[in-house]
Structure 1
């Protein structure tokens, strides 16, 4: 037996103002999308914004349903819309922000597992990393240079 250590590295910024201007603008777009979320059950609103290589910005917000599995996360809403509208355009940067009516969200909130898998599909498809910035409603912002940092033992088509 051999033990293998897997590490994840992210950069952490004290707040949005430390980010490059283009990422600040992307995070603002994500916050605007978050404010449009439909989250009457969880009271947890998420917004996503994706900068594409053609300079288009695609946003998405979480959309809940009384039948919980029928809802969709903000990340996947944005990803699937971008994939449908611009099928051969690379994703460069993704910004995510989440807030809750039940508690203060001032720590970086990463994408859920299902969203990580969806992001991984596009990162693998384009054979290029996607920078991912994520935060709560306020406070610190984390940056991952690639989805592979957040999902190091990912499942992809090579296993099929």
Structure 2
């Protein structure tokens, strides 16, 4: 047997105000998107904003449905719209923010597993990492230079 150790490196900022100006603007777009979330069941609002290499910012929010599996997370709402609308553009940065209507979300909330897989697909497709910044409703912001830091053993099409 051989043991394999996987390490990841993330950067943590104390608040939005400590982020580079362009990322602050992107996170503010994610906050605006979060305010448009439709989450009557989970009461958990999520907003995402993606900066494309053509300068466009695409945002999305989670959209729930009484038939739970039919809803869609904010990250996938934004990434699929970006992919469908600007198929040749590269996704450079993604900002995520989440808030609960039941309690304060003060710790950074990363993308769920399904969203990580969707982001991985686009990183692989564009052969370029996507910087991911995530936070709760306020407080610390975590930066990952690539989805590979959040999902190191990615499932990809080369195995199909």
TM-score by length of 2: 0.99
Aligned partner of 1:7 in structure 2 is 7
The count of residues paired between Structure 1 and Structure 2 equals 160
Any idea what the Cα deviations from partners look like across 1:5-51, whole Å, max 9, x if unmatched? 11121100000000000000000000000000000000000000000
| Structure 1 residue 55: Cα displacement | 0.3
Aligned partner of 2:100 in structure 1 is 100
> For structure 1, which runs of at least 5 residues remain unmatched after alignment?
none
> For structure 2, which runs of at least 5 residues remain unmatched after alignment?
none
* Alpha-carbon distance between aligned partners in 2 of 1:8 and 1:101, rounded to the nearest angstrom: 31
Could you list the structure 1 runs, at least 4 aligned residues long, displaced by more than 4 angstroms after superposition: none
Aligned partner of 2:86 in structure 1 is 86
Partner SS, residue 142 of structure 1: strand
* Alpha-carbon distance between aligned partners in 1 of 2:8 and 2:41, rounded to the nearest angstrom: 32
* Alpha-carbon distance between aligned partners in 1 of 2:105 and 2:25, rounded to the nearest angstrom: 20
